[in-house]
Amino acid sequence: MALFIVLATLSTRGAESRSIDEQSMVSRHQDWIMQHDRVYSNDVERLERFNIFKENVAYIDSFNAAGNKTYKLAINKFADLTNDEFNKRNGFLLSNNRVRDSKVMNSSFMYENASFMPTEVDWRKKGAVTPVKRQGNCGCCWAFSAVAAIEGITQIKTGNLINLSEQELVDCDIYGPDKGCGGGLMSHAFEFAINNGGLTSESNYPYQGTDQDTCKQNLITNNVATITGYENVPPNSESALQQAVSYQPVSVAIDADGSEFRFYSGGVYTGESCSTNLNHGVTVVGYGVTEEDGTKYWLVKNSWGDNWGEEGYVRMARDVEAQEGTCGIAMNAAYPTIA
């Protein structure tokens, strides 16, 4: 009888603890909904999203509690999405163009013999980087990456930092492998800008976050930035990537799948869970070394808004053992040129 009472008491306490934990999670979900202005269509969707939120939060809490990585995770605006749902916004399509891109990779590399390579570079401090943008649910990371690189070289060559239009690429760069929100390649975005005589401004052709199905031809003739070519960084060489970034922001592709990258909030991301399946276009706008322990990193501009990561940026481990770099960052890098 005594043993039964003890077991019953423990069971009741366990149920109470689970109830408190569940109530706490409900409260956290409600606070998150209010913070991010999330709206659900009905109670069924709300429950479904709550269960996903609860699983993601448990993962984040467990990861941070372990304290064995050089970076932290945080509950952000993506917390009620599954990995599969979230990954749909990753729109880099290298896998469909390997033959063509392998040929392009053999092109010239103007920085090959460059002697200038400072220990640290931050193109934001040099005025060559526009504020972090937000691509939303459209899988056009390739357009944001290419535009950031064009904005950078334009400022470096002309002294003018101009906010350029991603929507122009989404709507008008559609006659090759680039498919707007369905994905594309930074190299083809550069080709479009060359053939079109440049890109127009964001204010002239604002971002909509969806495929508009029609290219606004009357807007794309008002070009405010032009490039004359582009080059690819020799693949699988972080030293070559560093040479290029010393001179200008560079478009790169990475593997951004998985919870750790999605919920990254700060620190040097080491990406142990990364593969070399490149699926997301971003822009390297610098590199450096941490003051705490001398860890080398790439400074990477993302397109998920300034409330993701370190105000929209991620520091990714540099000079790692794998030749392709962290999350494949050195595998497919390119930069626009101005004669």
263, 80 contact by CB (below 8 A): no
Rounded CA-CA distance 88/104 in Å is 27
Helix boundaries (H) for the chain: 2-36, 43-66, 83-87, 98-104, 141-158, 166-172, 186-195, 238-245, 259-262
Query: Which of the following is catalytic: 141, 181, 274, 327?
Result: 141
Rounded CA-CA distance 280/254 in Å is 5
Query: Which of the following is catalytic: 90, 302, 327, 332?
Result: 302
87, two tokens: 């990954």
Catalytic annotation present for 327: no
98, two tokens: 């390997």
The CA dihedral of 278, 191, 205, 160, to the nearest 10 degrees, is 100
Rounded CA-CA distance 98/94 in Å is 6
The conformational region for residue 198 under phi > 0 = left, psi -120 to 50 = alpha, else beta, is: left
Rounded CA-CA distance 256/274 in Å is 7
Closest among 96, 223, 80, 236 to 165, alpha carbons compared: 223
DSSP 77-117: TTTTS-HHHHHTT--B-GGG-HHHHHHHTTS--TTTT----
Query: Which of the following is catalytic: 90, 280, 327, 332?
Result: 280
Handedness of CA 246, 247, 252, 257 (dihedral sign): positive
Catalytic annotation present for 279: no
Residues marked as catalytic? 141, 280, 302
